[in-house]
């Protein structure tokens, strides 16, 4: 019999998006002098420019790359890039999880591009060596729904003719990006830094800017996708003049998270925290005979969105619907106890658990979570008999 643990995680927020707020977060820490003011006012624009400048410094974004704050989260940033830049040449679409599959749908069914799909099942990764440097390539740096990340960017050619377009939303601020290998990078601050949702960040290399200024797609672009004016890059987007009205409260929240990250020691410290969290969870998984990583290869395993599968024979032999119901019962038990919130696997992924290990999570809470997972599994399994 598995006893109910006596100690709970101090913060039970292990959701993979929106993610846990930074330790010590309080609304009282946010500056509010921009609220009720126009984002185009001097103070509003200055704060947006500050967010861009702090982002550049923290992530080490090269000086000649543009950084813009755009609408509609990471999805909006990726859609802007794909609809504005793809079609000039063939594109390799890499997918090993649901968000990568979503970009494939855009490329094939909506834009009807000359696209080649390089896919892999959940827990594995596509054949990176098969990417053609003459093609554009679209991929996720870290698969939020599969727990699989790319093993660096050496597979991207320095002599590539196409653009490398990277959805980095659950990897940025927890993994080192190889900027010279990347032409477009997108993310939303609701992921690794635990910011509030609805805003995306779009980062463009000089090669991406050149594409925008020399290529016009055949399809019409809605206003929020338009990155150029009169054939030239709309520089205002990358200087704090956003396409549509941003939430200045969300911007202040992002600035608070950036300042916290700086106080820790910057990107290196954020990566170390995520690594420590993933290692602590990995230690528990190693000790649990009913649980394993969905991604078997440690070299491509995420340190943020850690996806797990239930390997207990009595559960593994259930059909998919029954397995999902079992996971849901575990979720309900943990939620009712205040031990863990929102840790079910993504709806399109195989049945299992997904536990966020990004930098805003404390390692002590990951360690405290393990015994609760054991308890919830045992309780849920008892209900099957």
Would 177 be classed as within a structural domain?
yes
Same domain? 129 vs 214 = yes
Q: What is the pLDDT of residue 185?
A: 98
pLDDT one-digit tens code per residue, 175-222: 999 999 999 999 999 998 999 999 999 999 999 999 999 999 999 999
pTM of the model: 0.98
| 99 plus 128 within the same structural domain | yes
Residue 151 lies in a domain: yes
Same domain, 57 and 158: yes
User: pLDDT digits over 218-230, tens only?
Assistant: 999 999 999 999 9
In the numeric block, which tokens belong to residue 365? 């809470």
Q: Do residues 146 and 56 share a domain?
A: yes
* Measured distance CA(84)–CA(229) in Å, rounded: 12
- 271 shares its domain with 256: no
Residue-averaged pLDDT of the chain = 97
Token readout for 281 is: 């969870």
CA distance 7 to 29: 29
Residue 274: closest CA among 314, 241, 306, 320:
306
Q: Which of 262, 278, 313 is a domain's end point?
A: 262
d(CA 378, CA 368): 17
When divided into structural domains, the chain yields a total of: 2
Give the E-state strand segments of the chain in sequence order: 66-71, 91-95, 115-119, 136-140, 142-143, 148-149, 164-167, 184-188, 199-204, 228-229, 232-233, 291-293, 305-310, 353-356
CB proximity list for 69: less than 8 A, separation 6 or greater: 48, 51, 52, 199, 200, 201, 202, 240, 242, 246, 251
| Residue 2: pLDDT band with limits 50, 70, 90 | confident
pLDDT of 1 strictly over 80: no
- Judge whether 215 lies within some domain: yes
Angstrom CA distances, 252 to 31, 58, 105, 297, stand at 6, 16, 34, 39
Contact 11, 369 (CB under 8 A): no
Of 262, 281, 304, the last residue of a domain is 262
Residue 13 domain flag: no
Please give the structure tokens belonging to residue 96. 């090993």
Is residue 310 within 8 Å of 352, Cβ to Cβ?
yes
H or E element that contains 100: helix 98-105
Are both 299 and 211 inside the same structural domain? no
How far apart CA 132 and CA 270 sit, in angstroms, is: 33
- Domain of residue 176, residue span: 27-262
- The closest of 207, 204, 211 to 61, measured between CA atoms, is 204
Using pLDDT thresholds of 50, 70 and 90, give the confidence band for residue 7: very high
User: pLDDT tens-digit profile of 148-161?
Assistant: 999 999 999 999 99
How is residue 204 written in tokens?
């463009």
Same domain, 97 and 191: yes
> Is 236 in the same domain as 290?
no
Is 205 inside any structural domain? yes
Tokens 């859609």: give the residue: 79
Distance separating alpha carbons of residues 110 and 89, to the nearest angstrom:
16
- Give the model's pLDDT for residue 385: 73
* Alpha-carbon span 160 to 21, nearest angstrom: 39
Q: Examine residue 45 and state whether it is found in any structural domain, yes or no.
A: yes
| CA pair distance 165, 196, nearest whole angstrom | 24
Residues 288 and 255 in one domain: no
Which parts of 126-244 fold into alpha helices (H)?
A: 206-214
For residues 15 and 304, the answer to whether their CB atoms sit within 8 Å is no
Confidence at 163, pLDDT banded by 50, 70, 90 = very high
CATH code of 216's domain: 3.40.640.10
Q: Return the CATH number at 281.
A: 3.90.1150.10
Burial of 222 (C-beta count, 10 Å sphere; 0-12/13-18/19+): exposed
Q: In the chain, what percentage of residues exceed pLDDT 90?
A: 98
For residues 207 and 312, state if they share a domain.
Answer: no
Is residue 7, in this structure, part of any structural domain at all?
A: no
Q: For the residues 233-255, what does the mean pLDDT come to?
A: 96
Among the candidates 243, 262, 281, a domain finishes at: 262
Rg of the chain over Cα atoms, rounded to whole angstroms, equals: 21
Q: How confident is the model over 125-138, as pLDDT tens digits?
A: 999 999 999 999 99
Q: What is the mean pLDDT of residues 341-351?
A: 97
The verdict on residue 18 lying in a domain is: no
11 touches 20 (CB < 8 A): yes
Residues 255 and 282 in one domain: no
Domain match, 132 and 222 both: yes
């Amino acid at each position: 019999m598995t006893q109910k643990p006596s100690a709970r995680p101090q913060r039970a927020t292990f959701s993979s998006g929106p993610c846990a707020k930074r330790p010590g977060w309080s609304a009282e820490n946010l500056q509010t002098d921009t609220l009720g003011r126009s984002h185009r006012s001097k103070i509003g624009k200055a704060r947006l420019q500050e967010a861009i400048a702090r982002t550049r410094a923290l992530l080490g974004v090269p000086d000649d790359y543009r950084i813009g704050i755009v609408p509609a989260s990471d999805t909006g940033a990726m859609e802007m890039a794909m609809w504005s830049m793809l079609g000039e040449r063939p594109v390799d679409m890499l997918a090993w999880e649901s968000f990568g599959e979503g970009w494939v749908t855009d490329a094939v069914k909506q834009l009807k591009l000359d696209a080649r799909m390089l896919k892999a099942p959940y827990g594995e990764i596509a054949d990176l060596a098969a990417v053609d440097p003459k093609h554009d390539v679209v991929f996720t740096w870290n698969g939020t729904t599969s727990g699989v990340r790319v093993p660096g960017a050496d597979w991207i050619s320095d002599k590539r003719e196409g653009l490398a377009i990277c959805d980095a939303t659950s990897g940025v601020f927890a993994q080192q990006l190889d900027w010279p290998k990347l032409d477009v990078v997108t993310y939303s601050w609701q992921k690794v830094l635990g910011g509030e949702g609805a805003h995306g960040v779009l980062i463009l290399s000089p090669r991406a800017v050149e594409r925008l200024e020399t290529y016009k797609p055949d399809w019409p672009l809605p206003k929020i996708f338009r990155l150029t004016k009169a054939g030239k890059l709309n520089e205002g987007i990358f200087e704090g003049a956003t396409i549509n009205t941003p939430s200045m409260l969300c911007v202040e929240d992002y600035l608070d998270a950036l300042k916290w990250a700086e106080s820790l020691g910057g990107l290196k410290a954020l990566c170390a925290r995520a690594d420590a969290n993933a290692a602590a969870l990995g230690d528990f998984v190693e000790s649990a005979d009913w649980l394993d990583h969905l991604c078997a290869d440690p070299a491509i395993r995420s340190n943020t969105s850690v996806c797990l599968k239930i390997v207990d024979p009595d559960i593994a032999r259930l059909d998919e619907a029954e397995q999902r119901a079992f996971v849901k019962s575990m979720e309900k038990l943990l939620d009712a106890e205040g031990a863990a919130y929102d840790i079910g696997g993504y709806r399109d992924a195989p049945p299992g658990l997904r536990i966020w290990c990004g930098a805003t999570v404390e390692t002590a809470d990951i360690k405290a979570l393990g015994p609760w997972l054991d308890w919830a599994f045992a309780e849920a399994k008892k209900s099957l008999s």
